[in-house]
Amino acid sequence: MNDIKTGVLYVYSFSLFLITGYLVVYEVALIIYYVYFKVRLNYGESPLSNVQVGVLGRRSLRVLFIDLDGTVWNHLDVSALTPPFRRVGSEVVEDSAGIKVRLSRGVRKFLAGVRGLGIVIASLSWNNPVKALEVIRAFGINHLFDVHYIEPHPRKGEVMAYALMDLSEKLNVRLGAENVVYIDDRDIHLSEVREKVGDVLFLRAWRDFKDFEEAYEIIRKYVE
């Protein structure tokens, strides 16, 4: 009897070991694929060739870089969640463990409105790119972005500098700090962004504006 119990426990432990190893290899492989083989850039559904880049206001705003965790949605780390994600409400998705992520109120209208001003919409996120993109698609908002810059490290200044070079080439226009509005719920990346890119227009979510309707009005004032 003891031999049977020992055998069962051995099989159970070995199975857990195999499953854990598989999940680790899977996560690493996905990150390598998206970050290196995709070379940073994951396009949204809106083709950049259709974006009408306008000269807007004193700063000539042309690109919005927007954070995801704590900004576009309420969850602070979707990289910690477990796919697949599914829609369970008009503004709510959940992962396979039932953990819910809620879209920030008014963000759909905000993104559509800013694109309507002729501004390129780019996500800028410290995240697992696979999981973050799955959440975006589960919410059905991928078409509201022109491009995604999602990387699993905190160096947002480095990523933004690369993004501006990349977008400058693709749009055939020189883009710099004076063309950028950057929205994030934290300012911990701001010093590096200003070191690498320059004096971008920074709006801290929930401090510089109370909701996305107010954020839109702030940006629109630079257009008039």
176 and 68 in one domain? yes
pLDDT of 71 reads 98
Domain identity same for 5 and 75: no
Mean pLDDT in each 10-residue stretch from start to end of the chain (224 residues)?
52 51 50 46 54 52 97 98 97 98 98 97 98 98 98 98 97 96 98 98 98 97 80
How far, in Å, CA of 40 to CA of 162, rounded? Answer: 9
Q: 76 and 14 share a domain?
A: no
pLDDT of residue 224: 63
Same domain as 51, residue 2: no
What local confidence, expressed as pLDDT, does residue 41 receive?
46
Q: Looking at the structure, do residues 12 and 104 belong to the same domain, yes or no?
A: no
Cα separation values, 221 from 1, 59, 129, 211, Å: 78, 11, 33, 16
Q: Where are the alpha helices (DSSP H) in the chain?
A: 2-32, 107-116, 129-139, 156-171, 190-196, 212-221
Contact 75, 66 (CB under 8 A): no
Indicate if 11 and 105 belong to the same structural domain: no
pLDDT at 3: 55
**What pLDDT, on a 0 to 100 scale, did the predictor assign at position 148?**
98
Q: 103 by DSSP, 3-state: which? A: strand
Residues 29 and 127 in one domain: no
Q: Are residues 23 and 48 in the same domain?
A: no
How many domains would you assign to the chain? 2
Residue 158, φ and ψ in degrees, nearest 5: -60, -45
Its domain, for residue 116, covers 41-221
Question: How high is the pLDDT of residue 55?
Answer: 42
pTM: 0.80
Angle at 188 between CA 127 and CA 83, to 5 degrees: 15
pLDDT at residue 52, as a whole number: 47
Is residue 219 within 8 Å of residue 179, measured between CB atoms?
Answer: no
Distance between the two ends of the chain, CA-based, in angstroms? 82
DSSP 3-state assignment of 137? helix
Q: How distant is the alpha carbon of residue 194 from its chain centre? A: 20
